Each structure stands twice: as structure tokens, then as C-alpha cells.
Amino acid sequence: MDRRAPLEGKVVIVTGAAGAIGRAISAFLAADGARVVTADLNDSAVEAVAESIRADGHDAWATTVDVTRDDGPESLVRAAVARYGRLDAIVANAGILSISPILEMPVAEWDRIFAVNTRGVFLCFQAAARQLVAQGTGGRLIATASIAAKMGSPFQAHYQASKAALLGLIRSAAWEFGPHGITVNAFCPGNVDSPMWGVIDRDRGALLGKAPGELFKEVAGRSPLGRTQVPADIPPLVSFLVSDGSGAITGQAMNVDNGVVMY
Ligand SMILES: NC(=O)c1ccc[n+]([C@@H]2O[C@H](COP(=O)([O-])OP(=O)(O)OC[C@H]3O[C@@H](n4cnc5c(N)ncnc54)[C@H](O)[C@@H]3O)[C@@H](O)[C@H]2O)c1
């Protein structure tokens, strides 16, 4: 393996690639040598992500996907294989969040969050695994969970539960796909300085009677490292999980969160 291009030759799909974390992951994987299929609901934004990766001299191709559609991830995998001839990994990263107290939460809001964060990841894994099993090459199924999967937070029961469910998914999928040489893992970002955390700070902060910026500062301050987490902190772990070097790791949910959660 060329250590300067550890992902050379690998074809990797990243969903939610137009978002703060998906953008950072896509650019990093491409710089590590992967051919990256950037996929998102937001077609113009995801096209811009692929363009900027290509402008840096790396390989990326953008396509639109709605991971909530039954046939969305399947069409995505088909398009990736039509473009690059194979698949090696999927990073099921698309996710959404809202703030809603349980007493007032419309059931439709619970369903909306699960449709993207949980069902969407299941559909991505199923579609990618069908391709990987048919190829007979092994591969990687990777989900963006969150430290929310491992801890409670007020007014986010739907989000926490949607991410916690991914831990059950990866553990069972690891058993089903292990015999095919396919590893299945999740990674758990913490409090990332990003638009998504901007919503938490504003909406959860307001319900808790906090001034703008106060909640983010408070939770980020729980880190032993005493530093703010940024999107660029996430991709090195993802690149490692995609790489051949992670072949002995499966069924794991690794925190990349400044040490806020330690299990
Ligand atoms: N930002 C954080 O602090 C944080 C912390 C822990 C985990 N996460 C998780 O990381 C992932 C990325 O978060 P982010 O901060 O980049 O969020 P973001 O809102 O910036 O990006 C999410 C992307 O997903 C896309 N998307 C939404 N619904 C979709 C659908 N149905 N089909 C396809 N794409 C869809 C959006 O268009 C957007 O580009 C999410 O799964 C999120 O839950 C984020």
C-alpha cells in the first residue's frame, strides 16, 4: 500500500456529502487517493463539492440521492458502479436533526428523523452490501452515528434514538457480512462547530434559557482536551476505516469527539 495514497483505487460513496462533515470527509478521502461519489439531496451544493475536489486534482463525481426513498440508495449504488466500475465502501453520513420536547413532539417528526438517520442508513448498507457481495471483493460499510447514540440530551429523544439504533444495525450487519470480508462500523462525532450544532445551540439553548453560544461553549468545555471540534477532525478516522489497515475492526462505534464520551 502506498502510504501517501492509502485509498488508491478504492471507490467510495459518501452520502450527505454537501454538508459540513460530508464535505470534509469527501475531500479527505479523495486526497487519500479514493474515487469519491459525493451524494446528497442538495444537487447544486454536492456538485460544487465534487468540483472543488477535482479542482484540487483529485477524483470525485457528484450525484443526487434521497436516502429516504426505497429505491434511492439502490439507484445511487448502481450509478456509482456505472461510473467507476466497482464499489469498495459507503459512508452513510446523511443525517438530520431537530429539537422537540417529547410532550409536544408530533409523531411525524419522530418518523422524519428516523427516515433519514436510521432507515436511510439501512437502505444504504443493504444496497452497498448487495454490490459488495456480488463483487466478491469484501468492503466497508460505515455509518455516521454520533455521541448522541451513547448519551441522553433533552429535547432530542428522536435524534438520540435514531443514532442509537445504528449501533444495533452495525453490530448485526458485522455478523452477516463478516463472512464476505465486509466490515461494518460507525463513528461518533461529538459537538462539531457546524450549522447542525448551530441549530442545537439556538433551539435547545432557547428551551433551556441560555444565551446564544452558551450551550455550545458549555458542552464543548466538557472535553479533557479543552478544544473546539471542527469538521476536519472527523475524516482521518473515516479514511482509516475505509483503508485496508482497518480489516480487523468490525461492529465498532468509535468516538471522535475530543474525549467528551469515553465508552
Ligand atoms: N454537526 C455535528 O455536530 C454532528 C455531531 C455528531 C454527528 N453528526 C452527524 O454527522 C452527519 C453529518 O452532519 P453535518 O453536521 O455535516 O450536517 P449537515 O446538515 O451540514 O449535512 C447533512 C447533509 O445531509 C443531506 N441530507 C439530508 N437529508 C437527506 C436525504 N434524505 N438524502 C440525502 N441527503 C440528505 C443534507 O442535504 C446535508 O447536505 C449527520 O449524520 C449528523 O447527524 C453531526
pLDDT, tens only, 50-81: 999 999 999 999 999 999 999 999 999 999 99
C-alpha 182 – ligand 1 centre gap (Å): 24
- Return the C-alpha cell found at 6: 492509502
- Domains for the chain: give ranges and CATH numbers: 11-190+231-256 (3.40.50.720), 193-228 (no CATH)
Q: Exactly one of 84, 163, 210, 263 is catalytic; name it.
A: 163
DSSP state of 228: -
Mean pLDDT score, 214-229: 94
Q: Which residues contact 50 (CB under 8 A, 6 or more apart)?
A: 17, 26, 36, 38, 60, 61, 62
Q: What is the mean pLDDT of residues 220-236?
A: 95
Closest CA to 186 of 144, 233, 147: 144
Percent of the chain with pLDDT over 90: 98
Q: How far is the CA of 179 from the centre of ligand 1 (A)?
A: 31
Burial class (CB in 10 A: 0-12, 13-18, 19+), 147: buried
Is 56 in a helix, a strand, or coil? Answer: coil
Residue from 96, 98, 216 whose mutation best tests the ligand 1 pocket (most atoms within 8 A of CB):
96
The DSSP output letter for 27 is H
- Does ligand 1 lie within 6 Å of residue 25's CB atom? no
Catalytic residue flag (residue 159): yes
Residue 161: pLDDT band (50, 70, 90) is very high
Residue 180's contacts (CB-CB under 8 Å, 6 or more residues apart) are 129, 132, 133, 136, 138
* pLDDT on residue 1: 57
pLDDT over 70 percentage in the chain: 99
- According to the model, what pLDDT value does residue 4 have? 77
| CA 238–ligand 1 middle distance (angstroms) | 15
CB 156 within 8 A of CB 203: no
Index of the ligand 1 atom closest to the CA of residue 194: 1
Tally Cβ neighbours within 10 Å of residue 48: 15
Protein residue whose Cα sits closest to atom 17 of ligand 1 = 19
Q: Is 163 a residue of the active site?
A: yes
Among the listed residues 42, 47, 39, 119, the one whose alpha carbon sits nearest the alpha carbon of residue 79: 39
- Cβ of 205 less than 6 Å from ligand 1: no
In the predicted model, what is the mean pLDDT of residues 13-34? 98
β-strand partners of 140: 89, 183
- Give pLDDT tens digits for 175-199: 999 999 999 999 999 999 999 999 9
pLDDT tens-digit readout, 101-137 = 999 999 999 999 999 999 999 999 999 999 999 999 9
